[in-house]
Amino acid sequence: MSIVAPLMRRAVEEAVFPYGEWMLFDRSGVLETGATEGEGGRWFDLASLTKLYTATAVLALASEQGISLENSAGELLGTTEGVLGRRLCEISLRALLTHTARLPAWYPFYADGRSFFEILAELPTGEAGMVYSDIGYMLLREVLCAVTGLTLQEIVRRYVSGPLGIEELCFHPDRALPLVPSCRDNAVEETMCRERGMDFDRFRPHFTDVIGEPNDGNAYYYFDSVSGHAGLFGTCKAVAGLGQFYLNTEDPAFLGAVTPQPGCAGRCLGFHTGGAFPTGCGHTGFTGTSLWIDREAGIGLAMLTNRLYYDHLPQADMNAFRREVHTALAKEFY
């Protein structure tokens, strides 16, 4: 009997999200897949799950080209002079992957309008410790592109989706695909900008279906929908494919992605522990997506929803629901 299906359908009834799909898997394959309506197989805005594919690309590139995670962004970008260079030379790849680069959590680059590095040079430096930062993964995009000479789309294909056989994943999805509406506007970011005293006149109109475009403002308005922190679209199959790789791998080059690092509040080099993940590790996306794996129990769950596709604020507590599902599965498989 399915554990996930009744919980997902109850969440729809309780307005946690309007639509969701899931794929439960173990080391050898898919155990269960489903959708709250219809047959499933639709494409979602993966939001911050993009970070897992970016992190995987960094680890693959480091393994292939012998780059150390202790190399600084300044070294790899060839920018070591001036205020920007000094700051970049203090930021290692490891710090970016674990959100310990002392960068702010968020900044509306699109409302500022200057170049990425011009703004980065002036952003305040935080205290030592873990601060979950979109900006760090934006910087990882710049590093990856500089080191390889490729676009981020090409990097994800070459270092992640190609080697892992993941097909249903891309930036800029074709509008002919079965796309799930991800949100109705950018009301959350409008509030965040207003709280910072910043204006932006190109936000999407309120109560408008957003389909095939990232919800995330920096990804959509500033990086043309292609960034290291957000922008990827994919199916449950594409997310489960990455999860199954990390459930099975014993390659030292990738084990750090699922192993908590010291001084990082449960952060691994990609995934994290705690919060919505009572066992194992995982990652979430703001649009209502998540990937959880438990290497000890030998299972994982890709759970994709469009929780932002409502006209009301605030949204329901998605993390509480995620934790409930993951706890129920862990009890079943331990």
* Cα–chain center distance at 183: 17
Q: What is the pTM of this model?
A: 0.97
Confidence of residue 66 (pLDDT cuts 50, 70, 90): confident
Q: How far apart are the first and last CA of the chain?
A: 17
pLDDT reading at 26 higher than 90: yes
Per mean pLDDT, which range of 273-277, 291-295, 313-317 is the poorest?
Answer: 313-317
Q: Do the Cβ atoms of 229 and 284 come closer than 8 Å?
A: no
pLDDT reading at 4 higher than 80: yes
The structure tokens listed for 265 are 């509040």
What is the average pLDDT value for the chain, to the nearest integer? Answer: 96
The arithmetic mean of pLDDT across residues 94-98, rounded, is 98
pLDDT the model gives residue 331: 94
From CA 291, how far away is CA 257, in angstroms rounded?
Answer: 13
The structure tokens listed for 142 are 């710049």
Selection from 20, 72, 65, 15 nearest residue 180 by Cα: 20
pLDDT reading at 111 higher than 80: yes
pLDDT for 34-61, tens place per residue?
A: 999 999 999 999 999 999 999 999 999 9
Where b means 16+ CB within 10 Å and e means fewer, 181-193 reads bbbbbbbbbbebb
Q: Which residue has the higher pLDDT, 25 or 312?
A: 25
The arithmetic mean of pLDDT across residues 125-130, rounded, is 93
pLDDT the model gives residue 286: 98
pLDDT for 169-227, tens place per residue?
A: 999 999 999 999 999 999 999 999 999 999 999 999 999 999 999 999 999 999 999 99
- For 84-88, which contacts have Cβ atoms below 8 Å and span 24 or more sequence positions? 84/117, 84/120, 84/121, 87/120, 87/121, 87/125
- Residue 72: phi, psi to the nearest 5? -90, 160
The arithmetic mean of pLDDT across residues 18-30, rounded, is 97
Confidence of residue 1 (pLDDT cuts 50, 70, 90): low
From CA 26, how far away is CA 24, in angstroms rounded?
Answer: 7
The arithmetic mean of pLDDT across residues 111-140, rounded, is 96
> Which position has the token pair 């294909």?
157
Q: Do the Cβ atoms of 57 and 159 come closer than 8 Å?
A: yes
pLDDT for 144-169, tens place per residue?
A: 999 999 999 999 999 999 999 999 99
CA contacts within 13 A on the Cβ side of 2: 17
Residue 58 has a CB neighbour count (10 Å cut-off) of 27
What distance separates the 2 farthest-apart alpha carbons in the chain?
62
The arithmetic mean of pLDDT across residues 277-292, rounded, is 98
pLDDT the model gives residue 265: 87
Q: Do the Cβ atoms of 233 and 45 come closer than 8 Å?
A: yes
Provide, rounded to the nearest whole percent, the portion of the chain with pLDDT above 90: 95
Burial class (CB in 10 A: 0-12, 13-18, 19+), 31: middle
The structure tokens listed for 161 are 């989706």
The arithmetic mean of pLDDT across residues 307-312, rounded, is 94
Q: Where are the beta strands (DSSP E) in the chain?
A: 20-26, 30-35, 44-45, 169-170, 233-234, 272-274, 277-285, 289-294, 299-305
How large is the angle between the packed helices 236-248 and 50-65, nearest 10 degrees?
40
The arithmetic mean of pLDDT across residues 24-40, rounded, is 97
pLDDT the model gives residue 334: 84
Give the chain's radius of gyration (CA, Å). 19
> Which position has the token pair 């990232």?
214
